[in-house]
């Protein structure tokens, strides 16, 4: 029993909106598993089913061997969740939010107080413990929610878009906490994101989700190997595709550009220029990239996925962190 989450043929319909259309995946104990997909892909719906907050329309979902529909109480004991939208009691202090959560999960006494102190320290909110959450910034709230979800030492930590709407500095900190929790406690983590760099950075395995379906699943490397080595994206003055070597694969994208998969773009580009000239085509624009998850997503769905905003520039505070 090394699979802590088993999802088989999950379907979820809201009225006539089919949010999730029959997906299956398994999460292994101790891994970080990511659901990567654009807004509306059905990620939140999927994790709400896993967290017992939505009843599946069809299919079977089990956490640690317990069916989410029939043994909700067993499942709830084992999960900690950070929702996409805040779920704190803003009229209370950070400490009180933690304390009430602890009591609801059966903790108490000195042990609970000690654990709250440790976790507030961990998310760097110790000195804000007695402030009302109402006065917290978005980043502080998210950190508090992470701490709260960890309080009862869940077997499975679920994070729904953990860094959405956060500034790059706070995002880097949250990434750090996630890595730290995983390293120190070996906790299984399920996270959703629509930032491909976040998925690549944090996840052992990724399922790419779009319009209620899982399009592909594997490690970031496995997903990239779905396309080969390099990808050339070009726009010609009229629609055209080249399929002669060294180009292994060619397809037109919905926006009119052409995606070509090659072994080595540096060598293939001059040949492409020659081929284009020979067929009387003008190249309007051209670029090539090592495949990223964006190329994979583009390849699978014909649409692009985004990086998290300005995540490439890491603030110095991140480097200076001691923990």
Residues forming contacts to other proteins in the complex (CB under 8 A) are: 14, 48, 51-55, 73, 76-77, 79, 81, 83, 85-92, 96, 100-101, 103-106, 132
| Angle, helices 109-122/138-150, rounded to nearest 10 degrees | 140
**Measured from the CB of residue 68, what is the shortest distance to ligand ADP in angstroms?**
16
Stretch that binds Mg ion, among 81-89, 141-149, 239-247, 290-298 (CB under 5 A): 81-89
- Within 123-257, residue ranges assigned H as helices are 138-150, 168-185, 196-202, 220-224
Residue 170 touching Mg ion (CB under 5 A)? no
CB 154 within 8 A of CB 102: no
Applying CB under 6 A, the residues found at the interface with ligand ADP are: 14, 17, 19, 37, 39-45
> Considering beta carbons, is residue 58 or 91 the nearer one to other proteins?
91
Question: What is the radius of gyration, based on Cα positions, of the chain?
Answer: 23
Distance of alpha carbon 69 from alpha carbon 8, whole angstroms: 13
Please identify which residue in 19, 31, 33, 44 interacts with Mg ion, judged by CB under 5 A: 44
> Considering beta carbons, is residue 86 or 315 the nearer one to ligand ADP?
86
Residue 76 binds what, of other proteins, ligand ADP, Mg ion, none (CB under 5 to 8 Å, by partner type)? other proteins
Between CA 290 and CA 294, with CA 293 as vertex, the angle to 5 degrees is 85
Stretch that binds Mg ion, among 23-31, 43-51, 203-211, 282-290 (CB under 5 A): 43-51
Q: Residue 151: which of 79, 73, 255 has the closest Cα?
A: 79
CB 24 within 8 A of CB 10: yes
**Measured from the CB of residue 200, what is the shortest distance to ligand ADP in angstroms?**
18
Q: Residue 285: which of 233, 235, 250 has the closest Cα?
A: 235
Binding site for Mg ion (CB under 5 A): 43-44, 84
């Amino acid at each position: 029993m090394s699979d802590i989450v088993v999802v088989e043929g999950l379907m979820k319909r809201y009225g006539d909106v089919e949010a999730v259309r029959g997906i299956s995946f398994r999460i292994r104990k101790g891994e970080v598993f990511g659901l990567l997909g654009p807004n509306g892909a059905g990620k939140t719906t999927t994790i709400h089913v896993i967290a017992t907050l939505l009843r599946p329309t069809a299919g079977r979902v089990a956490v640690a061997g317990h069916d989410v529909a029939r043994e909700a109480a067993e499942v709830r004991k084992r999960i900690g969740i950070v929702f996409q939208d805040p779920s704190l009691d803003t009229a209370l202090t950070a400490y009180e939010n933690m304390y009430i959560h602890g009591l609801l999960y059966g903790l108490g006494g000195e042990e609970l107080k000690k654990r709250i102190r440790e976790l507030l320290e961990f998310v760097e909110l110790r000195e804000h413990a007695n402030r009302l959450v109402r006065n917290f910034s978005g980043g502080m709230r998210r950190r508090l929610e992470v701490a709260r979800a960890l309080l009862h030492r869940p077997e499975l930590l679920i994070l729904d878009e953990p860094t959405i709407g956060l500034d790059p500095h706070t995002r880097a900190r949250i990434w750090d906490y996630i890595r730290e929790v995983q390293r120190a406690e070996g906790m299984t983590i399920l996270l959703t994101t629509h930032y491909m760099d976040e998925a690549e950075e944090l996840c052992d395995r990724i399922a790419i989700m779009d319009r209620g379906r899982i399009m592909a699943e594997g490690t970031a490397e496995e997903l990239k190997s779905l396309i080969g080595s390099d990808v050339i994206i070009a726009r010609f003055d009229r629609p055209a595709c080249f399929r002669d070597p060294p180009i292994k694969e060619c397809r037109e994208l919905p926006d009119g550009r052409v995606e070509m998969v090659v072994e080595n773009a540096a060598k293939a580009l001059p040949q492409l220029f020659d081929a284009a000239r020979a067929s009387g085509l003008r190249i309007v624009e051209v670029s090539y990239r090592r495949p990223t998850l964006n190329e994979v997503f583009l390849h699978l769905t014909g649409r692009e996925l985004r990086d998290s905003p300005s995540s490439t520039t890491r603030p110095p505070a991140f480097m200076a962190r001691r923990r």
